[in-house]
């Protein structure tokens, strides 16, 4: 199954027989004081710089999130999306829990975006799915419903089925859905990693849809987080995840190696090209 996302000049295909797609996560003010302050001031220069840096680092899609307490997200998100589109030709992921902000961004976007996100909660399904159908976008579905985020694979798969069924009933083709299996921090929930891997395998077998997830949640609260994140993304990719939300500059080399081992890089072209582009000191 292939999920297609595009800008006016570039198309990205998410799928089992494709290289793992990397969504750059850095345009998100959560935990980034400098970015949050700039957004509150209406200054989008840092957004432009992050978009360019992530594209240069190899991001296939760039997530754009401007959710800061006290701002008018419906007014700011389309401006940020416009600023990124003027800076790079990378397809975008429009990231907001505010349906009004999502629609405002969808109106200005040129191409077919990925929307982050819809959940299994009734209010989200009723507000977000009609927007996805209206604007012909693709959407990430979070395995969260009105009872919260299930901790076990059975609960996560159940919510995934609900989202897929409701989306198809709303006229959204299954290939335009990407399910996020939502990992908890393993420091607090030791079985979370195992549950996510089982969830990925079951959703792939039962629904066939593409899957994504953020890498950083799994390591929260533990030392040497980058090491844990790298292990997690490799295991998730091997289990069947086809799209990852990451700090691309830190993770891309790991994913290129994983794709090579998993047969997603014919004749090692992408791996060797990336190796040749790295500074000499990094190759030692």
pLDDT of 47-72, one tens digit each?
Answer: 999 999 999 999 999 999 999 999 99
Mean pLDDT across the stretch 201-224?
A: 95
Q: How far is CA 266 from CA 189, 233, 260, 270, in A?
A: 38, 21, 8, 8
DSSP 176: G
Mean pLDDT across the stretch 171-194?
A: 96
Mean pLDDT lowest for which of 13-27, 127-141, 268-282? 268-282
- Domain positions in the chain are 3-278
Label residue 277 left, alpha or beta by phi (over 0 means left) and psi (-120 to 50 means alpha): alpha
Instruction: Give the burial string for 87-113 (b: 16+ CB within 10 Å, else e).
Output: bbebbbbbbbbebebbbbbbeebebbb
Q: With residue 52 as reference, give the H or E element that holds it.
A: helix 45-57
CATH class, range 3-278: alpha beta
Q: Strand, coil or helix: what is 1?
A: coil
Which percentage of the chain shows pLDDT scores above 70?
Answer: 98
pLDDT for position 280: 65
Angle at 45 between CA 66 and CA 78, to 5 degrees: 40
The pLDDT confidence band at residue 162, using thresholds 50, 70 and 90, is very high
pLDDT surpasses 90 at 12: yes
Write down the pTM of the prediction: 0.96
pLDDT of 92-111, one tens digit each?
Answer: 999 999 999 999 999 999 99
Output phi, psi for 64, to 5 deg: -120, 110
pLDDT of 134-152, one tens digit each?
Answer: 999 999 999 999 999 999 9
């Amino acid at each position: 199954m292939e999920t297609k996302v595009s800008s006016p000049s570039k198309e990205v295909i998410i799928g089992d027989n494709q290289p793992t797609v990397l969504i750059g996560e850095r345009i998100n003010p959560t935990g980034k004081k400098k970015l949050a302050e700039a957004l509150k001031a209406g200054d989008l220069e840092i957004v432009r710089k992050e978009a360019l840096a992530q594209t240069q680092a190899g991001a296939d899609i760039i997530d754009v999130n401007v959710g800061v307490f006290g701002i008018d997200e419906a007014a700011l998100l389309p401006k940020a999306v416009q600023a990124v589109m003027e800076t790079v030709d990378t397809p975008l992921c429009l990231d907001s829990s505010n349906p009004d902000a999502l629609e405002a961004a969808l109106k200005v976007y040129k191409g077919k975006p990925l929307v982050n996100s819809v959940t299994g909660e009734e209010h989200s399904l009723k507000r977000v799915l009609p927007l996805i159908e209206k604007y012909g976008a693709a959407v990430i579905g979070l395995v969260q419903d009105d009872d919260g985020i299930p901790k076990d694979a059975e609960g996560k798969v159940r919510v995934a089925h609900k989202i897929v069924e409701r989306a198809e009933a709303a006229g959204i083709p299954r290939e335009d859905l990407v399910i996020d299996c939502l990992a908890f921090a393993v420091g607090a929930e030791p079985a979370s990693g195992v549950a996510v891997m089982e969830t990925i395998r079951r959703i792939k077998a039962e629904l066939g849809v593409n899957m994504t997830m953020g890498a950083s949640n799994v390591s929260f609260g533990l030392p040497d987080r980058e090491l844990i994140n790298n292990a997690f993304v490799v295991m998730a990719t091997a289990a069947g995840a086809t799209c990852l939300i990451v700090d691309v500059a830190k993770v891309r080399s790991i994913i290129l190696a994983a794709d090579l081992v998993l047969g997603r890089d014919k004749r090692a072209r992408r791996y060797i090209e990336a190796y040749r582009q790295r500074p000499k000191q990094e190759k030692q």
